[in-house]
Amino acid sequence: MILGISGSPRKKATEYVLTEALKMLEERGFETKFFTVRGKQISPCQHCDYCLRHKKCRIEDDMQELYEMLGEARGIIMATPVYNGGVSAQIKAVMDRCRALVAADYDFFRGKVGMAIAVGGDRIGGQEFAIQQILTFYILNGIIPVSGGSFGANLGATFWSKDTLEGVKEDEEGFRSLRKTVKRFAEMLKMLEGV
């Protein structure tokens, strides 16, 4: 199963692009699931070290639902709007709260495949830096990071929304980067399955 995580508190550009990515993967025969932070209560990590001692997070909130989905996932797509040149606070909270999973099982994420999507209101608004933050999370946790490769999707899929849903739908270059990234993501998953 491929899990798409939308890190936007709004139902607009980022969520739209992520659902399009999941449709592309479904067309390639993959089962997908969608999770959004929108309307969810996900507190930031308090770095209290409870998870190191008790092998679970002491905060009981909507991360519990996501923890279960992450366990089932073979592939993970994190999509974030760009806030102040980086990831949203919501997707950062998701990443930080995953510390509890690794505290319980150091190899929890090892061998899963990950890709990233960043949607900015400006063409050059911090999309690549936001993607680097997500890829760093993947690398630190043993997730195999996949980009779209050179010539248009160097680190992953980047979009210019012009701060509107209509704007992101018109971003042909963004969708080219998404198609390239999804293609390589699907190829890596199939390679690891031995298909």
150 DSSP assignment = T
pLDDT (tens digit per residue) in 46-96: 999 999 999 999 999 999 999 999 999 999 999 999 999 999 999 999 999
pLDDT of amino acid 67: 97
Specify the pLDDT at position 21.
98
3-state secondary structure of 76: strand
Rounded Cα distance between 56 and 52, Å, is 8
Q: How far is 123 from 105, CA to CA, in rounded Å?
A: 39
User: What is the mean predicted confidence (pLDDT) over 167-194?
Assistant: 96
Residue 61's φ and ψ, nearest 5 degrees, are -150, -160
Between CA 152 and CA 182 the distance in angstroms is 13
pLDDT of residue 195: 55
Rounded CA gap, 89 and 86, in Å?
9
pLDDT digits (tens, 9 = 90+) for 17-29: 999 999 999 999 9
The enclosing H or E element of 20 equals helix 13-27
Q: What is the pLDDT of residues 114-156, one digit of tens each?
A: 999 999 999 899 999 999 999 999 999 999 999 999 998 999 9
pLDDT of residue 152: 86
Q: How confident is the model at residue 193 (pLDDT cuts 50, 70, 90)?
A: confident
Task: Indicate the residue type of 162.
Answer: K
